[in-house]
Structures are given as structure tokens and as C-alpha cells.
A = this chain, B = another copy of it.
Amino acid sequence: MNGVTRQLARFIVESRWNGIPKEIRHEAKRALLNWLGCALGGCHDVTVETALAALREFAGPPQAALLGRRERLDILNAALINAISSNVLDFDDTHLRTVIHPTVPVASALVALAEHTPATGAQLLHAFILGVETECRIGIAVSPEHYNAGWHITATCGVFGAAAACGKLLKLDERQMTWALGIAATQSSGLSEMLGSMSKPYNMGHAARNGLLAALLAAKNFTSSERGIEAPRGFAHVLSPSCDLDAITGGLGASWELAQNAYKPYPCGIVVHPVIDACLQLRGEHAIAPDSIERIETRVHPLVLKLTGNATPATGLEAKLSVQHCAAAAFIRGAVGVEEFTDACVHNPAVVALRARVTAREDAAVGKEAAGVDVTLKNGTKHEAYVPYATGSLQRPMTDADIETKFRALAAWGTSTCNAYDVIELLWSFDNINDAAALARTTVPSATAEFVRAAR
């Protein structure tokens, strides 16, 4: 009987594209489009610029694109930077059961590698699906104790996902794949303590780079323990107070974790999302002008207040965990995107004034995924909305069109000059594309466009 690491390696190596259900293939495209939007939105963030300032002079040949930018770096550094770009806005996807953000570490490594190791679109999609499966199953095996202990689970498990996906693209054999997972295990790291600093997205970059490196090392027969996950001194036992190893191997190939993936319509704490939905709905249905509002009462699950009951956020980052800010911004701006979590928006006098009129009330009858909002106008009129499940939840997923819209908004926020239509079309037909490297290339601005952007 082989161990868990070896069984998982065999599954990844033996998996065939025609064994992947159609809806999972489509979900992979949705995940990649959502991810690419996040990267275009974040690629000029100060965190990305700072990391590049530190790394640039030590980087290797210009092998792979930095998404949305003109520079090219070696594939390991490109994986790192692209993971930072696509995670820095806190707008990437979520595997709700584990709170892993599955696409960032896997896709960042894979898309960089695809510029070095020729692959078709279908091969990249297939490797991506297997990478997500790997990291999410390992995450499930150690949840919730691992995350509760302080581990940044997207990083600690993401390194396995990146290794598995890149190992698949590199056509590792079973033993090499076992080593790749073992090398991933011994590199697994990342503390939740880093949330709120640049090291939060760095954790993702580190996972993407190290997972890719694990696969590259294994491809040259660099050995590791063959029981990196399950051994008494392996990942699961050392990094988690408890674990259920069967969750890694049980029913492999019969179910796919990508089916459980959720996309955020708003770049803030997910528990606030139904409140934002309700506010936007009220504003739209009743054409409510912000200065006509007397007060906004939100009725929420107790957890929402606990996590996001901050009536006076001081920064954009704090506003992401302020139900009051989210409600005020939704009514004033009619949209809750990246711009609504800038410091400028937080200090906007109209937002500040309306935020003071928002109350948040615990209501034990309201579920964790639901919210009620009552708005009272100065003329005495009252309107109510109740949202049982937020947009982006598994019960009410973002549509393909929603994800396209989000992509366009993020590309615009990042002042991307790429042709959004081209990128979207490329992705929906990605399983028929011969050269997967086209994906990264479509995001690169022309020299002229970049000159204009930089001059602004």
C-alpha cells in the first residue's frame, strides 16, 4: 500500500484531460479570467513595485512576462511577482471550505512555466485543475486546525498546488512527482500574522515560486522523502494539530474541488457581501440619492459585527473590514470596487457623513450568508431589502458575464492597455489554443501605451 504522497502523485501523473468533466474545464477558465483581472488590477501596486525594486538586479533571463507590465523575468521570479500582483487587492477567488485562495499560487507558477515549457491551452487548464485539486484536498485534510493555529493556508497548501500543476506540465513520472510534493512539503510556510503588511501577498509569491522550483528540481531527480505529507515528521503532522489524510486520497477523480470555488464581486471581507448586495439593490430599485438618507440600518449575523463592526475606519485596508463603510460606499458610489477601498474614498466627506448614519445590529435570525438592510429617508419613506445569499456565494455564483465585467473593471483600475475583449475571448476558447503562453502575452502593454501610462 503506497502512502498518501505517492497515491496523490500517481493520480496527478495518470490523470487524463478527457477524464475532466466539462463543467470543471469551464470553471477553470472562469477562475483564470477572475485571476487575470486581479493581476491586471494589482500589477502596479506599491507592494509589487517594492518587491521588484529588491529582486530585479538578482533575477535571471527575461523568460516570462510580468502580467500587465512590460518587464520580463526568469520564470521563478515571474511566478513570484505575478502571485503578488494577483493577490494584493484581496479580490481573488476563495475555496470556501478551507478559505484557500486557490488560483493565485497555482496559476502564477503555471503561466510563467508555460512560457518556458511549451504547452497547449488544454494542457495548462488540465495542470491547473490538478493543482487546485491538490492544494484544496491537502487543505481539507488539515482544516480547520491548521488555519486556526496561525498558518496562512493559501501559502502553506498553495506550494503543493503549484508543485503538482507544474510537475504535470513538466510531465514528471510518478516518483518525480512524489519528490516534487516532498520538496513542496519542506518549503511549506507562511504566517497569517503577516495580514495587513506587504508580506501577506508575498506569502503567495513565495508559495508559487517554491512550488514551481519543487517541480523543476524533481524533474532533474532531486530527491526528497517519499512520504512528505503523511510521515510522522511530514507536513500534515508537523504543521497541523490534527489531520484527516483520507481527505487527500478519498474519491480522487470522482469529485473536483474547483466546483466549490467562489469569486468575489467586492474586494472586501466576504461576510459583508450580502450587506453590499442589499444596499446596491435598494439604491437601484428606488433611485435613492445619498443626501436623501436619514439612516441605514443593517441587520446581520453576529459574526459580521465581530469581524467588521468598525464604524470609523482610518485607511482603505481597515475599510475592507467595516460594514458601515461598505454600506455607505454602496449608496454613494453605486459600486463597491477597488476604488471604494482607497484611503481617498475612506476620507471622502460624503462617505464619512453617510457612514455615521449607518448602524449595524446583530440579528440572530439572520444567517451567516444573509443580511437585511432598512433605509429610512429624510422624508420618512422606508425601504427594506433582504439578501439570503450574496452574489458570489456558491448558492448564487457570479455569472460568466459578471466575471467578465469584473475583469474589465480591474483592467481599467490597473490602467491596463490590453484589449479586454481579446483576453476574454482567448480564455473562453483556451482549450483549443495551441500555445498557452499566449495568455500572459495578451496582458503585456505596448511600449507606447506603457509610456503614456507611466507619464500620467
Contacts and interface: CB of A to CB of B under 8 A. Distances in A.
A229 B320 CA distance: 26
A405 interface: no
Contact of A191 (B186, B192, B198, B220): B186
Interface in A66-87: 74-76
Interface string A25-50: 00000000000000000000001001
A61 B234 CA distance: 35
A216 B77 CA distance: 15
A329 B281 CA distance: 82
Nearest to A237: B150
A222 interface: yes
A407 interface: no
A194 interface: yes
Nearest to A183: B199
Interface size class on chain A is 35 or more
Interface in A179-222: 182-183, 185-194, 196-199, 202-203, 206, 210, 213, 216-217, 219-222
A206 B187 contact: yes
Contacts of A389: none
Contacts of A190: 186-187
A63 interface: yes
A353 interface: no
Contacts of A151: 238
Contacts of A149: 238
Contacts of A74: 58-60
B220 A54 contact: yes
A417 B203 CA distance: 42
A260 to B, nearest CB: 26
Contact of A199 (B53, B59, B192, B223): B223
Nearest to A196: B225
A173 to B, nearest CB: 16
A225 B197 contact: yes
Given A150-B238, A186-B190, 17 more contacts: A50-B217, A51-B222, A53-B220, A54-B213, A58-B60, A149-B238, A150-B232, A182-B194, A186-B193, A186-B194, A186-B206, A191-B234, A193-B231, A194-B224, A197-B225, A198-B222, A199-B223
Nearest to A231: B193
A54 B216 contact: yes
A434 B199 CA distance: 36
Contacts of A206: 186-187, 210
B191 A189 contact: no
A182 B198 CA distance: 11
Nearest to A232: B150
